[in-house]
Amino acid sequence: QVQLQESGPGLVKPSETLSLTCSVSGASISSFYWTWIRQTPGKGLEWITDFYYTGTTNYNPSLKSRISVSHDMAKNQFSLKLSSVTAADTAVYYCASLPGSQTAMITFWGLGTLVTVSS
């Protein structure tokens, strides 16, 4: 059973950078594609980015200019940075796994972490 756990600050100031890490257990990050998804009350679920350990990365065009993704094979973790945040970036952020590319099938989800953007 693959388990994912998000970690990072729950409060970020406007204009600063949101940084989250996803720790994976039960599988190597070379086994699947990985994704970040967020959920807001007003907009529902929103795909942010997904990647494969080889470096193939896809971004939501509406967020692409502000996103940075990285991974650490040794720690079996991957990370998300979202720069220049505003109140609109307040959401529950999930890391999750995909069985392959070009799919909306999300097989395993993290518990989610609430990030609030406020001064």
Partner 1 sequence: QSVLTQPPSASGTPGQSVTISCSGSSSNIGSNYVYWYRQFPGTAPKLLIHRNNQRPSGVPDRFSGSKSGTSASLAIRGLRSEDEADYHCAAWDDSLSGPVFGGGTKLTVL
Residues that bind partner 1 in the complex, under the rule CB under 8 A: 43-47, 50, 58, 60-61, 94, 96, 102-107, 109-112
51 or 85: whose CB is closer to partner 1? Answer: 51
Task: Name the nearest CA neighbour of 6 among 32, 44, 37, 43.
Answer: 37
* Least distance (Å) between residue 73 CB and partner 1: 24
Residue 111 beta carbon to partner 1: minimum distance, rounded to whole angstroms: 6
In this structure, are residues 57 and 87 in contact, taking their beta carbons and an 8 Å threshold? no
Residue 45 or 88 having the CB closest to partner 1: 45
Between 15 and 40, name the residue whose CB sits nearer to partner 1. 40
Distances in Å between the Cα of 77 and the Cα atoms of 30, 57, 101, 112 are: 11, 16, 19, 15
CB of 30 to partner 1, least distance (A): 22
Least distance from C-beta 72 to partner 1, angstroms? 23
d(CA 109, CA 82): 20
What is residue 68's DSSP assignment? E
Q: By C-beta, is 45 or 73 nearer to partner 1?
A: 45
